[in-house]
Amino acid sequence: MPEPIFRLDNVKKRYGHTEALKGVTFELAEGDFMSVFGPNGAGKSTLLKILSTLTKPSEGDIFFKGTPIKKMKDDFRRHFGVISHQPFLYENLSAFENLVFYGRLYGLKDVPARADFLLKRVELLARKHDRVRAFSRGMLQRLSIARALMHDPDIILLDEPYTGLDQHASLVLTGILKEQFSLKKTIVMVTHNLPRGYELASRIVVVKGGKFTLDSKKEEIPEKEFEEIYMQAVS
């Protein structure tokens, strides 16, 4: 059996006396699409921050393909693409310039071509040279998806990407996620959007009070049953 992409071993995260994660253990296989649900303050965002290495766990170990994350060099972060509800874009630069900047920061080759390709993919090619400042929320989100995919990451981490999206952006995002999933990319998505999260996922997780209260393959849990469990967790 190949090493899982992520293996978390009793990972805890404390902020002072507040425990955001109370011992989380799981493995994430290559090509998994994990949707993470849960009430506000359950520890979903903390989990995502820990996976993306923005935050170190207070206790417990994280292994990336069998190697402890602690021992990884800075360069290993190129495996991740992060899409958050924040756009991660410079508003004084044009769409193209933003993508080119991030492409260079990642040390990519053929940056302008890659930027054009992705702008086309998120249907923003016509607005390529417009300043991001003038973009609508939906356009910002589409560009931010392109930004996260510039370096073609193996692992895509999404923090409530559907929040505040318009119809168009939502369709583009869903299309891209389906495509990335079919390309065997590993995806972790924190979301409040039940139908969308359920539809896309191969694995469903519910977090409450810093612990996993549900962790199941999608086939093993019908949507109705999942919704009931979710409602219980939220109430």
Q: Which residues bind other proteins (CB under 8 A)?
A: 15-18, 49, 52-56, 58, 74-78, 80, 82, 84, 86-93, 97, 101-102, 104-107, 131, 147
Least spacing, CB of residue 231 vs other proteins, in Å: 22
- Please give the order of strands across the beta sheet that includes 33-37: 80-83, 155-159, 186-190, 33-37, 203-208, 211-217
Query: Given the complex with other proteins, which of 151 and 196 has the nearer CB atom?
Result: 151
Least spacing, CB of residue 210 vs other proteins, in Å: 11
**CA pair distance 36, 158, nearest whole angstrom:** 10
CB distance 186 to 2 below 8 Å = no
Residue 233's Cα: distance from chain center in Å?
Answer: 22
Calculated CA dihedral for residues 164, 169, 170, 172, nearest 10 degrees: -160
Q: Count CB-CB contacts under 10 A for residue 18.
A: 9
Least spacing, CB of residue 124 vs other proteins, in Å: 17
CB distance 12 to 19 below 8 Å = yes
Least spacing, CB of residue 225 vs other proteins, in Å: 30
Query: Given the complex with other proteins, which of 135 and 162 has the nearer CB atom?
Result: 135
Q: Report helix, strand and coil shares of the chain as percent, to nearest 5.
A: 40, 25, 30
Tokens of 85: 């509800």
Query: Given the complex with other proteins, which of 56 and 217 has the nearer CB atom?
Result: 56
Query: Given the complex with other proteins, which of 94 and 213 has the nearer CB atom?
Result: 94
Least spacing, CB of residue 219 vs other proteins, in Å: 33
Least spacing, CB of residue 131 vs other proteins, in Å: 7
Query: Given the complex with other proteins, which of 49 and 203 has the nearer CB atom?
Result: 49
Sign of CA dihedral 174, 175, 178, 179: negative
Query: Given the complex with other proteins, which of 85 and 192 has the nearer CB atom?
Result: 85
